[in-house]
Chain A
Amino acid sequence: MITPQHSNALMILIPAYNEGGAIRRVVTEVRGLLPQIPVLVIDDCSTDDTRTEALAAGAGVISVPYHLGLGGCVQAGYRYAYDAGFSYVIRIDGDGQHDPQFIPTLFRTLRDSPVQMVIGSRYLQGKVPATSFARGVGIWFFRQILKLILEKEVHDPTSGFVGVNRQALEVFARSFPLEYPEIEALVVLQRRQFRFAEVPVVMRPRLAGVSTITALKSFYYVLHVLLGVVVNILKYEGKRRKG
């Protein structure tokens, strides 16, 4: 069972849904680079062999009994890490897009800077990676919105390559946006006057599978996240139940 071996322990969290084609390589790569760091995969009720592949690669696997979606899945990992006593969690995707070589950079920033969250940003390297027009417009739009709310630029607000410290972990273990959580999570942190930093990373093509984001879904994404941001700004936390 994954437990922290010392104070200030780091855990790698990988939410995965039908990532059977990539998860073994992702976990193996992380464990090869960082053998001392425990890797926890949250299997979001996959219908393929994600669970067995992740176990075979040496990860701890928590399987949720029904499909929760990305936010619910990530929150399960945050809950576990918080209860187990981890001080830091870095989340990477299960499709291989996030290069584990950048994990130490994220971790150092998280540990040594007065921030509660670190985002691996693909737009800080100078060379802007190719992305679809719809996604590009969406990212630009949310950058402007977040700049107004956070009073600080976020270069890659949709990045899922994210590290959090124990303070943020405590907040996210209790309350985490369910669908498309990245942008809303920033607003949740801002409401608690938490700080974040971005570090440059290089994203890779996914190892297996295809993106499920269509034009219609992109439109829904923008509407949903926009509403989520407004709701999070207006949310009254006093009556929130303990989850």
Chain B
Amino acid sequence: MDRLLNIVAGMSVLLIGLVFFAIRRAHIRVEYSVSWLSAALVMLVLSQWQWALRQVAEFLGVNNAPFALLLIILSLFLIVFFRFSVIISDLKDANIALTQKLAILEYQLQHVQEKHSPSRDA
């Protein structure tokens, strides 16, 4: 059991390090890193604070504490993935609206330029 908990703790630390590295390099925006950091912190705390883990397992009605931890990790990641699906959908909608507006504006601009081009006046 201890080995599994230590592996989870190691992965949590790795994830936190990875997220901070990505923030520093501007690969991820701070507001989107919060979900990952929160998930990693919950994993870290529960894997190292066994009393808390046992309380959570008892609350969930699971006899095996590590199994409860895996269940929590899975739930956390599902929530994070769902949040990112919402964000991606939002971005896609915005992207399509912008693309359409850009294409329409380009079309209108071309006609304005043609109307005012010197060759037309000559």
Q: Write the residues of chain A forming the contact surface with B, with a CB cutoff of 8 angstroms.
A: 1, 42, 60-66, 68, 72, 75-76, 79-80, 83, 178, 241, 243
Task: List 20 other contacts, CB 8 Å, given A63-B107, A241-B93.
Answer: A1-B111, A61-B107, A62-B103, A62-B104, A62-B106, A63-B106, A64-B99, A64-B103, A65-B99, A65-B102, A66-B99, A68-B96, A68-B99, A72-B96, A72-B99, A75-B96, A76-B100, A79-B100, A243-B93, A243-B97
**Measured between alpha carbons, how far is A79 from B107 in the docked complex, in Å?**
13
Interface size, B (range): 10 to 19
Residues of chain B whose beta carbon lies under 8 Å from any beta carbon of chain A: 93, 96-97, 99-104, 106-108, 111
The CA of A64 and the CA of B107, in the complex, are separated in Å by: 10
* Contact pick for B107, options A1, A66, A178, CB 8 Å: A1
Considering only CB atoms, which chain B residue lies closest to A42 in the complex?
A: B103
Q: Which chain B residue shows the least CB distance to A73? A: B100
Shortest distance in angstroms between B122's beta carbon and chain A's nearest beta carbon? 21
- Using Cβ atoms and an 8 Å threshold, which residues of chain A touch B104? 62, 76, 79-80, 83
B103 adjacent to A76 (CB under 8 Å)? yes
Q: Which 3 A-B pairs have the closest CB atoms?
A: A1-B111, A76-B100, A243-B97
Contacts of A80 in B (CB 8 A): 104, 107
Contact A178 B103 (CB under 8 A): no
A selection of 28 A-B contacts at a CB cut-off of 8 Å is: A1-B111, A42-B103, A60-B107, A62-B104, A62-B106, A62-B107, A63-B103, A63-B106, A64-B99, A64-B100, A64-B103, A65-B99, A65-B102, A65-B103, A66-B99, A68-B96, A68-B100, A75-B96, A76-B99, A79-B100, A79-B101, A79-B104, A80-B104, A80-B107, A83-B104, A241-B93, A243-B93, A243-B97
What residues of B have a CB within 8 angstroms of the CB of A178 in the complex? 96
A165 to B111, alpha carbons, bound, how many Å?
A: 26
Q: In the assembled complex, which residues on chain A have CB atoms less than 8 Å from the CB atom of B107?
A: 1, 60-63, 80
* A241–B93 alpha-carbon span in the complex (Å): 10
A1 to B99, CA, bound (A): 19
Q: How far in angstroms is the closest Cβ of chain B from A240?
A: 10
**Complex contacts, A75 vs chain B, CB 8 Å:** 96, 100
Q: Specify which of A42, A83, A243 lies most central, judged by the most chain B CB atoms within 10 Å of its CB.
A: A243
Query: A64–B97 Cα gap in the complex (Å)?
Result: 11
Q: Which residues of A contact B103 (CB under 8 A)?
A: 42, 62-65, 76
Residue among A42, A66, A75, A76 with the most chain B CB within 10 A? A76
A64 to chain B: closest residue by CB: B103
In the complex, the chain A residue whose C-beta lies closest to that of B95 is A66
Minimum CB distance partner of B114 in chain A: A1
Residues of chain B within 8 A (CB-CB) of A76 are: 99-100, 103-104
- Measured CA separation A243–B92 after assembly (Å): 12
Q: Tell me which residues across on chain A come within 8 A of B100, comparing CB atoms.
A: 64, 68, 72, 75-76, 79
List, in ascending order, chain B residues with CB within 8 A of A42's CB: 103
User: Please, which residues of chain A bring their CB within 8 A of the CB of B93?
Assistant: 241, 243
**Chain B residues positioned under 8 Å from A79 (CB to CB):** 100-101, 104
* B103 and chain A: residue at smallest CB distance: A64
